[in-house]
């Protein structure tokens, strides 16, 4: 049976009564949250990885607790906890210091929630990548009199990239899908837009197939960009075939 008999293409039009524009708006929000959350998580990951490897005992224990808890608790539970309890805790602290409560936007809250989750996984990915850097390179940089900051920016970070990119690429794809979990807290992204459109029109197959196609296109485009980034990070290094 033809696919056209199941999909109502008129409902996917960009202008009303079609819902295509609504789905694209939800996709744009999903991409914004994914980019913001991924960037925030990457910053947490860099700090967490260096804290675990080079921090004092207290800092290492704190980073270990952070990564263990976040990776152990289901992401949906973490999102509910951070979204509601986190905003309430922030407003409570602001109230204690006399600032008063503030209305936190759903976009900012979503970025924070996704970033905290991504940060725990990024910490472990980056920690493993840093440990994969040959110790002789770092020792040589120190022997030349480089400061710890220069050793990190000029030696450690560039050398670890080829080892970190595959894991970080997977985390980006996970971040794009984790945005769908924010639908449970009412943030308007692609999953919630799809659910609303399907609920109003009862054309569930049409809209969920369309949403799946949009997620797939986002993943394929991401893979293209990430592949180029990985090739750039491995410039000057022998390929797998050459290594054999």
Exposed / middle / buried, residue 90 (Cβ in 10 Å: 0-12, 13-18, 19+): middle
Q: What is the pLDDT of residue 127?
A: 92
Contact between 14 and 216 (Cβ < 8 Å):
no
> What pLDDT digit, counting tens, does each position of 49-59 carry?
989 988 888 99
Q: What is the pLDDT of residue 236?
A: 64
Split at pLDDT 50, 70, 90, the class of 1 is: very low
Q: What is the mean pLDDT of the chain?
A: 85
DSSP string, 76-98: HHHHHIIIIIIHHHHHHHHHHTT
Question: Helix, strand, or coil here: 103?
Answer: coil
> What pLDDT digit, counting tens, does each position of 118-149 carry?
999 999 999 999 888 888 888 888 888 888 77
CB neighbourhood size of 214 (10 A): 17
Which tops the pLDDT comparison, 6 or 181?
181
Closest to 200 in 3D by CA, of 11, 9, 7, 10: 11
Split at pLDDT 50, 70, 90, the class of 2 is: very low
Q: What is the pLDDT of residue 5?
A: 56
């Amino acid at each position: 049976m033809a696919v056209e008999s199941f999909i109502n293409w008129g409902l996917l039009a960009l202008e009303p009564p079609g819902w295509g524009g609504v789905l694209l708006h939800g996709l744009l929000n999903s991409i914004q949250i994914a980019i913001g959350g991924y960037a925030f998580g990457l910053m947490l990951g860099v700090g967490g990885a260096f804290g675990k490897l080079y921090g004092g005992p207290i800092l290492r224990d704190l980073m270990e607790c952070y990564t263990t808890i976040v990776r152990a608790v289901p992401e949906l539970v973490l999102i509910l906890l951070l979204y509601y309890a986190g905003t309430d805790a922030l407003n409570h602290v602001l109230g204690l210091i006399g600032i008063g409560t503030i209305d936190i936007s759903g976009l900012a809250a979503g970025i924070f929630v996704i970033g905290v989750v991504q940060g725990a996984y990024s910490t472990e990915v980056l920690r493993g990548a840093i440990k994969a850097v040959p110790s002789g390179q770092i020792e040589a940089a120190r022997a030349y009199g480089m400061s710890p900051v220069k050793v990190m920016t000029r030696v450690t970070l560039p050398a670890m990239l080829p080892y970190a990119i595959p894991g970080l690429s997977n985390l980006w794809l996970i971040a794009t899908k984790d945005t769908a979990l924010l639908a449970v807290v009412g943030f308007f992204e692609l999953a919630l837009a799809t659910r609303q459109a399907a609920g109003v029109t009862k054309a569930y197959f049409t809209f969920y197939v369309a949403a799946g196609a949009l997620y797939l296109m986002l993943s394929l485009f991401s893979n293209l960009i990430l592949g180029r980034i990985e090739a750039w990070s491995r410039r000057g290094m022998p390929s797998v075939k050459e290594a054999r």
